[in-house]
Amino acid sequence: MTKDKNQDIDEVVEEFDEKIEEISTDKFPCPSCGGNMAFSPTEQKLQCPYCKTVVDIENESIEVKEYHLAEAEEMASHNWGNEKIVIKCSNCGGETVMDSSMQAQFCSFCGSSHILKTDENIGIKPETILPFSLDAKKSKDKFKKWIGGKFFAPKEVKQKHTLNRLQGIYIPFFTYDADSTTAYTAKRGVYYYTTHTSQVNGKMVTKRIRHTRWTTVRGVYAQYYDDVLVNSSKNMDDAMIKKIGGFDLRKLLPYKPEYMSGFIAEKYSLSLDEGWQKAKNQIDNQIDQGIRMQVGGDEFRLVNKSTNYGDIKFKHILLPMWMSAYKFKEKAYRFLINGQTGQVNGEYPKSALKISLVVLSVILVGAVAFFFLSRQ
């Protein structure tokens, strides 16, 4: 039985490898054989899938820009390099950006095959990109190990549905910079102690009692926030992304179409303003903590505050993930791997048959135990 399972998985791996070659771009011809080169996570270079020739990606002369929020839509470049197309899923509405030479067969977010090329605007070009460190083979191994350990996952899922849908996808994020000035009123509580001596049962007992003295503090807290990171995808929820851990953003590089070659990117679905609202929530929490530090004391209460933001700047960045989305009995599930660190997170359907077998055996063991215990 285990033999069968491995055979199935190996077949799927083969299919998948063929597809990876199929979807490579034709815009980076190999200098040796003319084949289509794609970005290689292991080499961190363009690599020819046929003759394995590698070519460096020059990236030194590119300047990373941040755009003022109000004018970002007009000022930022919409040219992603190479000819790109936008594919939209009619099932979940998810949109992906890819080289026009790529062939998409299913939606990366829900696994549906109802996908269409749209005329939709490609959106603002990413300013920086975190290239994949984890290649297709490693991510497939991770997946096999992960699903192999899920006892309750139905057999069908372990064999087919997921592995051939594992896709390297860059997920869009926005970063915001902002200057903030906050006028606030707060209460600072400082502890002081009094001692009380009384007679209990003929003995003198001294008690130390804590009190809080409150004073009102008014002040101004000014802080500059740099690169506040916001997930700008509505298809990928924050909680799921959190579970694959953080990314080392120091490794971000100025965007070049070479890094996307052989991969796809999700088109951001949050507007720049919606993204800013999310960033503001994060900043707001940090401001509260900053005020708390500034006010000091043993206890703290914020009475009110009012913040002015200035010099708000924006940047679009792409982060790498390996993802597999699939439908099982009309429900969508996702498997996600951090394309930089390899950290895994996923959802999977639980086999009703396997669960009831386990429940049944627990009941059986209980019944047998009861039978023997009651005879003693």
Which residues of this protein are in contact with Zn ion, per CB under 5 A?
Answer: 30, 32-33, 35, 48, 50-51, 53, 89, 91-92, 94, 107, 109-110, 112
Distance of CA 297 to the CA centre of its chain: 38
Instruction: Kindly state the smallest distance separating residue 94's Cβ from Zn ion, in Å.
Output: 4
Residue whose CB is less far from Zn ion, 47 or 231 = 47
Instruction: Kindly state the smallest distance separating residue 137's Cβ from Zn ion, in Å.
Output: 19
- The set of residues, in sequence order, having a beta carbon less than 8 Å from that of 124 and lying 6+ positions away, is 72, 73, 76, 77, 78, 268, 316
| b/e 154-163 (16+ beta carbons within 10 angstroms → b) | beebbbbbbb
Which amino acid appears at position 338 of this protein? N
SS3 64: coil
Instruction: Kindly state the smallest distance separating residue 126's Cβ from Zn ion, in Å.
Output: 22
Distance of CA 274 to the CA centre of its chain: 18
Q: How does DSSP classify residue 161? A: I
| Residue 12 phi, psi dihedral angles, 5° rounding | -60, -40
Instruction: Kindly state the smallest distance separating residue 11's Cβ from Zn ion, in Å.
Output: 25
Instruction: Kindly state the smallest distance separating residue 35's Cβ from Zn ion, in Å.
Output: 4
Residue whose CB is less far from Zn ion, 186 or 321 = 321
Residue whose CB is less far from Zn ion, 36 or 338 = 36
Residue whose CB is less far from Zn ion, 112 or 223 = 112
Instruction: Kindly state the smallest distance separating residue 89's Cβ from Zn ion, in Å.
Output: 3
Residue whose CB is less far from Zn ion, 65 or 114 = 114
| Residue 289 phi, psi dihedral angles, 5° rounding | -65, -40
Angstrom distance (rounded) from CA 217 to CA 371: 72
Residues 54 and 42 sit within 8 Å (Cβ to Cβ): no
Residue whose CB is less far from Zn ion, 51 or 357 = 51
